[in-house]
Structure formats: C-alpha cells, structure tokens
Amino acid sequence: MSFLGVNVDHVATLREARGTYEPDPVWAAVEAQLGGADLITIHLREDRRHICDRDLRLMMQTVSVPLNLEMSLHEEIVAVALEVHPPMITVVPERREELTTEGGLDVQAEVERISEVVKRFKDNGTKVSLFIDPEIGQINACRETGADMIELHTGPYAGSSGEKRAREIDKLTRGAAHGRKQELVVNAGHGLTYNNVPGIVETIKPCELHIGHSVIARSVFTGIRAAVEEMKDVIQKTLLMKG
C-alpha cells in the first residue's frame, strides 16, 4: 500500500501573490481529505513565502489525517514545530534563493546536529523523516541519527527520460531496499505527476508518496477533491496491476 500525502503549499503561494486571505490552504486541506488524501503536507519556510504559522496552527486543529510538516533545521522553525507538536516532520534542506527544494539533505555532513534535532522531536512524540538523495552513505547516516523514515528524492527521476530515467529508477530501487534493511520506513516525493508516479509505485513501493504541485495544478481545472481522487486512482490502479 502506498499512502498519498498531498502538499497544499501552492494554494498558499497563490494567496500570497496578492497578499490577501484567499485561497485558504486550510480549506484546501479539507478538500484534499475529502478527496481521499491519507496525509496533508505543508512546508513552513523560514521566509514564510507561502505557508505561515497561522496555517500550521489551524491545520493542527482541523486536519483529521496526519499532518506532515516539512521544515529546515533553523532553530526558529524547530521551536515552532516543537510547540505545535505535529504528528510527523520531514527535515529538508532549504535555501531562500530556490524556487523549490533542489536536492536531498546532506545527513552525512551533519549527523551530530541532525541527531540532536531528531531526539528532540522523538522525545516530543513526533515521527521524523529525512528527505535525502538515494545514496547508501546518506541512508546509513539517517539510520545513525535515529530517524524513523526517509523520503527519497524523486526529482531527478521526474526530470529525466529514457536511459537516464532507467538509471534513476535503479538508484531509487537500490536506495529503497537498503533503507528497509536499515529498518527505516521508505517514502518518496518531489516532481511526481499523474504520468510518472506509476514508475515509482511499481519499483520502489514507497509507504508514502508526497505530491503537491501536480495535484494543485490539476485542481485549477477540476477542483482539489477531484484532483486528489484522480491521483489516488492512478496509485491504486498501479498497485492492482502490479499485484
């Protein structure tokens, strides 16, 4: 089974483009749930370019499926997350200049720092995932930190085709297998669409898929509830065919 986590950040992006109160990502989270989302994902960035503290706090009160908070290691964000106490966090790298997350977290370079943050959250009852490239060294480092999960970065797969895509699938498949050997829950996300998600479901069999932009883009034409239903249908049909 692959659970669908829907990222509603880009609803907030549209709101912030006009500096107004709509569209509201909290409403979007409700619609995503009604469409069958198994989780809701939001990224509270240091610059608050889309999701803001108000959104996080309201979703904690209204979302009935697990809320996954993507976040950097910046101490201000860590403090907010510890106070709000989401059921799950995913630690991601973050640069203010980037349009979207550009690569996996370098866990090997910051094992001690990340381990300390992981412990603080696990002591607080929050599950911790680390967003990484599918590299054996990074996966081993994740295990060392005490994290519960890894989210394999599927961006290079999503942005490739032909032989290059086959190589990316091979990396992801080997990374997923090694992650499970290290007793880590394996999730996947970034750049996934209605067209390319079957390749990930078929090969690496992630526990959770975290998808945002493609679903929100489709919802402009269909509505969020229908867009989520369609993505769930793609995932479930792939699982049935594979089975």
State the pLDDT at residue 88: 98
Rounded Cα distance, 151 and 113, in Å? 19
The SS3 call for residue 201 is: helix
Rounded Cα distance, 2 and 75, in Å? 32
Q: Where do the structural domains in the chain lie, given as residue ranges?
A: 3-242
43 is catalytic: yes
Looking at 10, 31, 50, 70, which residue is catalytic? 70
* Model pTM score: 0.94
- What are the 10-residue block averages of pLDDT along the chain, 243 residues in total? 94 96 97 98 95 98 97 96 97 67 85 97 97 97 98 96 96 98 98 97 96 98 98 94 68
| CATH of 3-242 among 1.10.3720.10, 3.40.630.10, 3.20.20.70, 3.60.60.10 | 3.20.20.70
Residues 221-230 as b/e (b if ≥16 CB within 10 A, e otherwise) read: eeebbebbbb
State the pLDDT at residue 103: 77
Rounded Cα distance, 82 and 102, in Å? 25
Tally of CA atoms within 13 A in the half-sphere of 58 that contains its CB = 12
State the pLDDT at residue 101: 54
Residue 8: what are its φ and ψ, rounded to 5°? -105, 20
Cβ-based burial of 21 (10 A; exposed 0-12, middle 13-18, buried ≥19): exposed
State the pLDDT at residue 234: 97
Looking at 10, 43, 153, 210, which residue is catalytic? 43
Which H/E stretch holds residue 163?
helix 162-181
85 is catalytic: no
Residue 129: what are its φ and ψ, rounded to 5°? -120, 150
State the pLDDT at residue 203: 93
* Amino acid (one-letter) located at 236: Q
Looking at 10, 153, 178, 190, which residue is catalytic? 190
